[in-house]
Amino acid sequence: MGALKKFFKDTIIYGLATVLPRLMNFVLVPLHTDTLETTSYSDNTTFYVYAAFFNVLLTYGMETAFLRFFSKSEEKHKVFSTALISLVVSTVLFFAVVFSFNQQLSELVNLDQTYFNLLLGVLVLDTLVVVPFAYLRATGRPIRFASIKLSNILIYVALNFFFLWAIPEFGIEFSGYDSSSLVKYIFIANLVASIVTLLLLSPYFFKTKLQFSTTVFKQLLNYGWPIMVAGLAYVINENFDKWLLPELLGKDINGAYSGCYKIAVFMTIFIQGFRLGAEPFFFNHAKEHNAKETYATIMKYFVIFGSFMLVFIVAYLNIFKELIVRDESYWIAIDIVPIVLLANLCLGIYFNLAIWYKLTDKTRYGMYLSIVGAIITIGFNYIMIPKIGFMASAWATLAAYTVMMLLSYVLGQKHYPVPYDLKKIALYLILAIVMSILVLKTNSNYYLNTGLVLLFLAIVFVSEKEQIKQLLKRKQ
């Protein structure tokens, strides 16, 4: 019970570190959709698609590799120092090469050169802080981690409001301000926030004597490179639609699709908070005699919370869309939200299952599974977008994550069997899907929708009542 209490405590803090920034970021969605046309919002989306891709490439799996070897190494300082040096050197080299050819590369990726240079700055700064952030997680300092993350987002949000709202609203004189290119100031805000984050984490660059171990580096690299490939495939799964839609259907459709996609961010927040708390916990708890039973319990409650979020968001979808994406020109893509929510829930289950290949050091399986998902994503989008439009992208995401989830379970039970309660997990998933379908057929009758949400909670309580009582007794 002590281990579970620590897990839930850390996950709540890490979750807040993820939820609060995302909620503040959420405030920006109405600001962005109100001030940017769908075509400009598409440019904003494209910028962050490339940022996600290069973030994975530049870190080459070092974050997860660091957490893995730091948790079990007797020479933790050597693991920290080696990981830090390797990322700093590779990032500086990347910056030198890319900046030398920035004009040609910006044309290659079809980004304005100013946007490209801002992207390069954000990428470099965010990569340099990966190991210090991982160190805070590995050493159990979630509050410090959360405070720096919150500082980053506060600066980012404040500058967004300053550039996109305060200057036009109050006629503030600002040298060089260009009202015809507002999207640029979103990227500038990100760059400034990343600079401050680097300064806040700078003491950790001198935390220990710098010492590069070739042996440790090889271990980190061998463990991490399949994670990198898996990460690249994950970026494809998450963002290929937003890269392809402008080409096939136009920037205006992509902007609307990307705006409505943001409503599903609540599920993403939940998953990210879970991952931040779960990953170091899983590694540190692996040697305990009841580790597998603990993992199974965590999975069940993860599915319960995720299923509840699916039903709740779908039940009040019209309220969420009016609060978050207020410009009706974006609403043409609102039907993607329930599908994307379910897809992200499957992704969260996959992340939970993925512990088997991380604990057994068989990270290549994560790479294989992600590549399978990427193939499904690419193929489904290319084939189906011309036939059914942007809805194909939502269905492609669901198909990819469902297949990855099922394959990971089958492989995991062979290599690292965990006694998951499949009956309960299947019950909650099916219940959530059925209730979401019923909710969509009520035509926004919030009395009926609220009744269905409460019914879901009642079924969960009855089903889990005995275990909840046992957990409460142990806590006393």
Determine the angle formed by the axes of helices 2-35 and 317-324, rounding to 10 degrees: 60
Contact at 8 Å (CB) between 392 and 384?
Answer: yes
Q: How high is the pLDDT of residue 201?
A: 93
What is the C-alpha to C-alpha distance for residues 261 and 267, in angstroms, rounded to an integer?
Answer: 11
Q: How high is the pLDDT of residue 406?
A: 95
Mean pLDDT of the region 1-20? 59
8-22, 146-160, 328-342, 406-420, range with the lowest pLDDT: 8-22
What lies within 8 Å, CB to CB, of 353 at 6+ separation is 299, 405, 408, 409, 412
Q: How high is the pLDDT of residue 456?
A: 92
Length of the chain: 476
Q: How high is the pLDDT of residue 227?
A: 83
Q: How high is the pLDDT of residue 196?
A: 96
Q: How high is the pLDDT of residue 207?
A: 75
Q: How high is the pLDDT of residue 279?
A: 65
Determine the angle formed by the axes of helices 130-138 and 113-128, rounding to 10 degrees: 30
- Give yes or no for residue 354 having a pLDDT over 90: no
Q: Sorting pLDDT into bands at 50, 70 and 90, what band is 240?
A: confident
Contact at 8 Å (CB) between 131 and 83?
Answer: yes
Q: Sorting pLDDT into bands at 50, 70 and 90, what band is 350?
A: very high
- Give yes or no for residue 431 having a pLDDT over 90: yes
- Give yes or no for residue 455 having a pLDDT over 90: yes
Q: Report DSSP state, residue 164.
A: I
Q: How high is the pLDDT of residue 383?
A: 93
Mean pLDDT of the region 42-62? 86
Long-range contacts for 22-25 (Cβ within 8 Å, ≥24 apart)?
22/265, 22/268, 22/269, 22/272, 23/269, 24/153, 24/154, 24/157, 25/153, 25/156, 25/157
Domain that holds residue 26: 2-475
pTM for this predicted structure: 0.73
Report the domain count for the chain: 1
Mean pLDDT of the region 226-241? 84
Give pLDDT tens digits for 113-162. Answer: 888 999 999 999 999 999 999 898 888 787 888 889 889 989 999 999 99
Give pLDDT tens digits for 93-116. Answer: 999 999 999 889 888 877 788 889
* Token pair for 331: 């609403």
- Give yes or no for residue 4 having a pLDDT over 60: no
Nearest to 201 by CA among 128, 120, 280: 128
Give pLDDT tens digits for 205-222. Answer: 887 778 888 999 999 998
- Give yes or no for residue 11 having a pLDDT over 70: no
306 or 41: which carries more pLDDT confidence? 306
324 or 187: which carries more pLDDT confidence? 187
